[in-house]
Structure 1
Amino acid sequence: MKDAHRKSRVGHGLISFFFVFSSAIAAEPGKRLTFNEALATVESAHPDLLMMQAERDIALADQGIAASRSDTSVNLEGILRSGRPTAGNHDFTSDNSLRLTARKTLYDFGRTSAAESAAKSEVNARDAELIGTRDKRTLEIMARYFDVLIADMQFTADNEFMAVAYVTFDQGKDRLAVGQISSIELADLESRFQETSLRRNASEQRQRITRALLANALNRPGNLPSDIEDPALPGNQRVLPEYESLISSMLLNNARLKANIESLAASQKRLEFVRADKGPMLDAEVQAADYSRSASTRDSLSAGVILTWPIYQGNRVDARIAREQAQFQKLQAGNEKLKMELTQALLETYLEIGQLQRSGRSAAKKQAEFRDLVLEKSRGQYEVELKTNLGTSMAETVEATLRTRKNEYHLALAFARLEALLGAPLITQDKIKQ
């Protein structure tokens, strides 16, 4: 009878802690968040995306500036002055003028075309970086979403372990009273309960932290989701192509590599632009003028072509050329280093996917099957009043399920990283094109 009473207390303890867990998760009521809804926020006005869009807008503005180099300029010039004629009256007389001048570059020997090409390449580089930023946003949202699911399952397991430790400690008090255990053994039971309580409280805090991180990733700071869906992740069943076929695709389509290549092209064109500063410029000019003092050498209307050829500019152009050459070499070295880094990342991601699909799944599945058998055995023993380890078995089963799901979450993230490396869209679950 006493054993049955104790088992009843175990059951009541587990139920009470289950309700504690339920109330903790439901503390902030709201609509259940699905995986697809979370991914749909990739295009929201997140600071990371806004900063990259601003960089693109700057590049577009620079492109407009480069294209306007050959635009016609019209200037109005008014001059108030006095002068003393060389003949006749030697007194100072007014010599005011008003001039309207229109000027347009006819040919600048490559300056404008080089500047426009450099600006266009910079825009292309920013476009590629914008794609890369969206990919990073997707990966961040996925990682934060899965962290919440992991935190919830870990809390469930830790909550169960604490419930068992509490009831065991509570039973220890009764056993101490009848002399079945010593005070040292009871202290050991209390210590174990305190340890499980600490883990449980840390898991509860982790739930809150992961939700805050997810809210920030969704661009909804402070709006913590209370309940989220555990996605099916059908894309995890994809079959990997041969590794060699992926390398060429990555080198051709990777967003970061595209941005680097465009930056290199922009640097080359800027170098051409600087070199062109040593060449001549041909402008057309039309001028209308009015003077307060007439003279036979003055024209009220004139038009002409002006050739400007810099003969000596000191070291200004040579220094700019040297700087741009160094910048190009720096970008070139960075591009080669990026290729090595991306190739290594592709290999590691490829091997990780294979490991998770084969060994990771197999080990997690066997562990889950074993824990299911242990749970059924514990449930049977509990029902016939042989043992009271049902709570521990339930917690270990939850941990086995957590291991299985973590494998799938890591696999989904690995596939997403692979798609980002290959330059394929991350939001859709399309199969990787071979």
Structure 2
Amino acid sequence: MKIKTAPATTETLRRLLLSSLAALLAFPAVAQEGAAEDPEPEPLPEPLTLEDALAEADADHPDLATARARLEGARAQERRAASGKGWRAGVEARAAEVGLPSDYYEDASAGDHYARAYLTRTLYDSGATAAAREAEGDRSEAAEERVFTARQARRLSIMRRYFDTLLADLEADRAEEHMAIVFIEVDRLRDRHELGQISDVELAEKEAEYQQALAERNTANSRKRRTRSRLANALNRPGELSSRFRPPELPELDRDVPDFDELREQVREENPELAALRREVAAARSGIEQARASNDPRLDLELSTYAWSRTLRSRYDWEAALRLDIPFYQGGEVAAAEDSARARLREARARLRRTEMELEQATLEAWQDLENLAGDREAADAQRDYREKYLSYARKLYEMEVQADLGDSMVNLTAARRDQAEKAFGIAMAWARIDALRGRLPRNDAQEEAP
């Protein structure tokens, strides 16, 4: 006796597919956020102050954006690791047309469709999830530390570029004054040469001096534009070149030089890059534990419910099961994973040691800069004071027509002012580097520290 099957209709297939699709769409989907364009920033103020420039430090500069993107990725990996023993739910479906044996069925084929909704959870995994969560948590904290170091680097870069611009302006002023003085001298010598009072050689020597002064003036003006362009890039404002600047107040000049041993210890304990590398070492250790756990027993809970297009006694409507997995041999995969994790640990330790040595040297150099620049600044202050007094003296002599070196005195005073500013800016930068080394934001009133 042959069994007659229910015809496989397209309506049955359509209902199964639609029900599976509806179940899938019931879960929340992650919306793709459109790349909204950032509003145009306000123009930089004129004159530009150091405080105005540092206010741009936390803007979305590529260096800072890269660090923040890595932090977002690390946090996503941390959430992924934390979900290792969480619930998982889904729907699977199959629409099939199967051929039937002619000895038992009257029809040559029939629809054999099913849909399954499942809910699973890992109850025990020998600590693999805990190790992964700890490792990714350490990597996330390391990425957070590096966002802070990126903010430090932004402020240091802006300060350096701002000071370079001020020094370029002072050097351009000196070069302009020197060129003007030499031009006047050349013009006078040309008149005397026409009268036969000086030789061709003497005139040629002064004209060569003028050409050299002119070249120096042009180079100084080029440096003015170059430093402005570098500052604009540091501010994430490429092409927006400021024309005027206000010399900054430098409270760093009144700070006492710290004890070196105390400073070195503070850097070892509070430097954010060292903190990030220590986190990476800890993450690498957890990675070894995670690799080992992949060869240990695992226990999962599985809950399922089924819907079938055909009814047979051998099929069931729901299922609740505990699945125990005890691996014995995985073809060397676990050993390779452990070796790879150990290699990452050795690499992380080596990076940590190298960075410790580099920061030890950077701390010494910054501290020595403070010691040396303090004496250099006193010498520069004395030189400027002398040049100011000598200019006043030369002006009186000039008015009395005793001598005519007033122009040289003005050039020397401008040069002294530039040297004085350079030493003061050097002290400010040395303090900024020290603040960064010991985990603070340079030139920040709140003295925000690393997380």
Q: TM-score, normalised by structure 1?
A: 0.88
| Equivalent position to 1:39, from 54, 58, 63 | 54
User: Where in structure 2 are the equivalents of 1:186-201 lying within 5 Å?
Assistant: 186-201=203-218
Partner Cα separation in structure 2 for residue 429 and residue 82 of structure 1 = 77
The alpha carbon displacement at 1:89 in A equals 6.4
User: Where in structure 2 are the equivalents of 1:17-96 lying within 5 Å?
Assistant: 31-79=46-94, 80=96, 82=98, 94=110, 95-96=112-113
The alpha carbon displacement at 1:99 in A equals 2.3
Q: Residue in 2 aligned with 1:105?
A: 122
| Equivalent position to 1:362, from 367, 378, 391 | 378
Q: Is 1:395 paired with 2:411?
A: yes
Partner Cα separation in structure 1 for residue 170 and residue 91 of structure 2 = 75
Bigger shift: residues 193-202 or 380-389: 380-389
Q: Is 1:307 paired with 2:324?
A: yes
Partner Cα separation in structure 1 for residue 445 and residue 254 of structure 2 = 11
Q: Residue in 1 aligned with 2:30?
A: none
User: Where in structure 2 are the equivalents of 1:237-276 lying within 5 Å?
Assistant: 237-276=254-293
CA gap 1:59/1:146 in 2 versus in 1, 3 angstroms: same
Q: Residue in 2 aligned with 1:21?
A: none
CA gap 1:30/1:294 in 2 versus in 1, 3 angstroms: closer
Q: Residue in 2 aligned with 1:116?
A: 133
The alpha carbon displacement at 1:290 in A equals 3.1
Partner Cα separation in structure 1 for residue 308 and residue 422 of structure 2 = 86
The alpha carbon displacement at 1:75 in A equals 3.0
Partner Cα separation in structure 1 for residue 124 and residue 133 of structure 2 = 14
Deviations 1:304-349 (A, max 9, x none): 2111122221011211111111111011011011111101110111
- Asked whether the 8 Å contact 2:252–2:427 carries over to 1, the reply is no
Partner Cα separation in structure 2 for residue 143 and residue 335 of structure 1 = 27
Partner Cα separation in structure 2 for residue 322 and residue 219 of structure 1 = 43
| Equivalent position to 1:281, from 291, 298, 316 | 298
Q: Residue in 2 aligned with 1:152?
A: 169
Q: TM-score, normalised by structure 2?
A: 0.85
- Asked whether the 8 Å contact 1:30–1:227 carries over to 2, the reply is no
Q: Residue in 2 aligned with 1:410?
A: 426
| Equivalent position to 1:386, from 394, 402, 413 | 402
Q: Residue in 2 aligned with 1:11?
A: none
- Asked whether the 8 Å contact 2:135–2:286 carries over to 1, the reply is yes
Identity of aligned residues (%): 34
CA gap 1:325/1:92 in 2 versus in 1, 3 angstroms: farther
User: What letter corresponds to residue 68 of structure 1 in structure 2?
Assistant: S
Give the length in aligned residue pairs. Answer: 405
Partner Cα separation in structure 2 for residue 130 and residue 47 of structure 1 = 12
User: What letter corresponds to residue 31 of structure 1 in structure 2?
Assistant: E
- Asked whether the 8 Å contact 1:30–1:226 carries over to 2, the reply is no
The structure in which a higher percent of residues are helix is 1
**Where in structure 2 are there 5+ consecutive unaligned residues?**
1-42
Bigger shift: residues 87-96 or 230-239: 87-96
Partner Cα separation in structure 1 for residue 100 and residue 93 of structure 2 = 20
Partner Cα separation in structure 2 for residue 33 and residue 422 of structure 1 = 29
- Asked whether the 8 Å contact 2:45–2:52 carries over to 1, the reply is no
Q: Residue in 1 aligned with 2:4?
A: none
Partner Cα separation in structure 1 for residue 92 and residue 446 of structure 2 = 65
CA gap 1:266/1:221 in 2 versus in 1, 3 angstroms: same
The alpha carbon displacement at 1:180 in A equals 1.6
**Where in structure 1 are there 5+ consecutive unaligned residues?**
1-27
Partner Cα separation in structure 2 for residue 250 and residue 53 of structure 1 = 24
Partner Cα separation in structure 2 for residue 225 and residue 247 of structure 1 = 38
